[in-house]
Amino acid sequence: GAVMLARFASYQPYILAAAGLLLAVAFYWAYRPDPACTDGSCEARSRRRLRWAVWAAAFVLTGLAMLTQYPWY
């Protein structure tokens, strides 16, 4: 387990950068205006659950990034 994952330690900055980029895309999808309802003629769909999930993922990613930078053991 841990020894196998230690091989990826040199790729950690790239993995964190990719995760941050994917999180930015997720924030765009969660907060973008609905293209079908630009004139306000239709009922907008709620993206509340998606927004909660994106914020939860952001907190988890931030926590994991901090944990790897400051090991408390």
pLDDT tens, 39-53?
666 665 678 899 999
**Cβ proximity of 16 and 65 under 8 Å:** yes
- Is the per-residue pLDDT at 73 higher than 60? no
Between 12-31 and 48-69, two packed helices, what is the crossing angle to 10 degrees?
160
Q: Looking at residues 50-57, what average pLDDT do you find?
A: 95
Q: Whole-model pTM?
A: 0.74
d(Cα 41, Cα 34) in Å, to the nearest integer? 12
